[in-house]
Structure 1
Amino acid sequence: MDPRPLPRPSALTAPYWEACQRGELTVQRCRDCGRRVHLPEPACPYCGGTDLPYEAVSGRGSVHTFSVVHRAFLPGFEVPYVIAWIDLEEGVRAFGSVVGDIAPEDVRIGMPVRVRFDDLPGFGRIPNWRPA
């Protein structure tokens, strides 16, 4: 069993994780103001609307900012690894690890990336980011 902590879907986040299992990246979109919202929220942070269905997004974006982690504070994380905020083409920001055939020191702000779903043992597919 993988020692990394597993996501704990709630009523709010279950649709997001269910889409990940299908290999689909989704974010909420407020039906009142039309803005996209991520990370999942019970109410729109822009207008307060509470009708926030999940919609599929392209999974394409660029690195907004990142950090290279050199010391793991929980078991199961192989260092160094890169965590990043990604500016999606749809105008919303997503979070995750930058993985694939790239050394941590080669990740750059503005670098184009695409979502990649990787299996987290004991949970299922989670979104990560790879160079586009």
Structure 2
Amino acid sequence: METTAKKYPAPEGNPETKEYWEAAAKGKLLFKRCTACNEPHYFPRSICPFCFSDQTVWEESSGEAEIYTFSLMRKSATGPYAIGYVTLKEGPSLLTNFVDCDLATLKIGQKVKVVFKPTDGAPLPFFTPA
């Protein structure tokens, strides 16, 4: 488990993702859903990656997810870390880092929840065991 505070880079937003980063600042994880085909998608963007419709709406995630896959990097300049894909309870999958946990105990299928880490801008979403 990490004991030192880590410095995360500030995200660079754009008009298309402004609402996403504003919600992140309030501790809320958003994703988009297409109203034409009803598919949820992440990373939020205005065009549906499934049917290419521009009829998308913001939805708030519960923040609950399950580890789909992950990779543990034991050697790096900043120390060990783990990245992987989680599948949100609402359906979409996203690439993330796992934080605030014993990385050696992570397992595929494990329940995780979103946590936000501060930056000089909007906080970034990461996942930790539930």
Range class of TM-score, shorter chain: 0.7 to 0.9
- Measured on the aligned residues, the alpha-carbon RMSD in Å equals 1.7
Give 1:14 shift: 1.5
Give the TM-score normalised by structure 2: 0.86
Question: Which residue in the other structure is 2:80 paired with?
Answer: 80
Question: How many residues are aligned here?
Answer: 124
Give 1:41 shift: 2.7
Tell me which stretches of 4 or more aligned residues in structure 1 moved more than 4 Å. Answer: none
Identity of counterpart residues, as a percentage? 31
Gap change, CA 1:124 and 1:40, over 3 Å in 2? closer
Question: Which residue in the other structure is 1:24 paired with?
Answer: 28
Distance in 1 (alpha carbons) for counterparts of 2:25 and 2:95: 17
Residue pair 2:30, 2:59 contacting (<8 A) in 1 also: yes
Give the TM-score normalised by structure 1: 0.85
Residue pair 2:10, 2:122 contacting (<8 A) in 1 also: no
Paired residues for 1:2-21 under 5 Å: 4-21=8-25
Distance in 2 (alpha carbons) for counterparts of 1:45 and 1:111: 27
Distance in 1 (alpha carbons) for counterparts of 2:128 and 2:8: 20
Question: Which residue in the other structure is 2:68 paired with?
Answer: 64
Give 1:45 shift: 1.4
Is 1:123 paired with 2:103?
no
Give 1:97 shift: 1.4
Question: Which residue in the other structure is 1:45 paired with?
Answer: 49
Gap change, CA 1:68 and 1:110, over 3 Å in 2? same
Q: Secondary structure at the match of 1:23?
A: coil
Distance in 1 (alpha carbons) for counterparts of 2:7 and 2:118: 14
